[in-house]
Amino acid sequence: MVTTQTQLPTSISHDKSTHMNESIDHAQLSEWLKQVAELRCKVAFTHLFHFFAPKIQRISRSKFPNEAQSHEVVQETMSNVWRKAHLFDPDKGAATTWIYTVMRNVTFDLLRKIKSNREDNLSDDIWPVIEGEVSQDEAYEDHLENKQLLDVIETLPEAQKEVVKGFYLMEMSQEQLANHLNLPLGTIKSRLRLALAKLKGQLGENND
């Protein structure tokens, strides 16, 4: 008897650089999505639309035989973004990940409708809304390789904690952070400096 049971590789090569890519301004996308959720801001939505719609259209053109269907995917995906933005949690993953899952789900349901003539929209059952949670926590931990450091960061004053987390854990640049937090670059730099001094002091004490 033969078995073709195959095991997963023990780890997927996990390239950190994919977390925050230079060519995608994640902080900005996240911010727009937040503005859509909190302020129902049409300007922010328009920015998101111009970033994502052409890409979604191109991706779905490869999955559907005709243009009308790929338009439907764009229309549906972006409508869902508008109506579900409040379900996006920036602490749990990137806006690109969230919008990708919305697009993937819309595509899946439309393909199923075409193939099986079923409009049961199963995608949200198959891929529950938030998947990013586990990975994000893990990524933080192995990035820092030090649970202790995380604990110490938690003891920082709120203003410094924000900057340290953005810089080290979300790998945002100081400029992105200034933009994201709506603060002058100088403030970001000095907060980071203060926080680092405090962290060094604390970790030094603990390690003695």
Partner 1 sequence: MIKHHPKFELIQAYVNGDLPASLSMGISIHAEMCPACQQKIAQLTEQVAESSFEAQTIETESTSIGDTSSDTSFDFESMINNITLSAELDEVAKPVTKTITFKTKTYQLPKVLNRIKLGKTANVGKLSRTRLQLDEDEIHSSLLHINAGGGVPEHTHKGFELTVLLDGSFSDDKGEYVKGDFIMLDTSIKHNPISQDGCLCYTVANDALHFTQGINKLLNPIGNFIY
> Using CB under 8 A, which residues numbered 113 to 142 contact partner 1?
116-118, 120, 122-123, 125-129, 131-136, 138-139
The answer to whether 32 contacts partner 1 (rule: CB under 8 A) is: no
Shortest gap between Cβ of 79 and partner 1 (angstroms)?
5
Is residue 3 a contact point for partner 1 (CB under 8 A)? Answer: yes
- How far, in Å, CA of 36 to CA of 108, rounded? 25
Alpha-carbon span 5 to 96, nearest angstrom: 34
Q: Least distance from C-beta 179 to partner 1, angstroms? A: 19
Q: Which is nearer to partner 1, 76 or 162 (CB)?
A: 76
Q: By C-alpha distance, which of 200, 163, 202, 198 is closest to 183?
A: 163
Whether 54 contacts 75, CB under 8 Å: no
Q: Which stretch binds partner 1 (CB under 8 A): 74-82, 148-156, 187-195, 197-205?
A: 74-82
CB of 147 to partner 1, least distance (A): 17
Instruction: Report the residue from 28, 55, 181, 189 that binds partner 1 according to the rule CB under 8 A.
Output: 55
For the chain, the distance separating the N- and C-terminal CA atoms, rounded to the nearest angstrom, is: 59
Q: What is the largest CA-CA distance in the chain?
A: 69
C-alpha–C-alpha distance, residues 12 and 70, integer Å: 32
- The correct pick among 28, 84, 89, 198 for binding partner 1 (CB under 8 A) is 84
> Considering the rule CB under 8 A, would residue 91 count as an interface residue with partner 1?
no
Tokens read off for 6: 């195959």
Number of residues that bind partner 1 (CB under 8 A): 76
Binding of residue 205 to partner 1 (CB under 8 A): no
Say if residues 178 and 184 touch (Cβ distance below 8 Å). Answer: yes
Which tokens go with 42? 């049409």
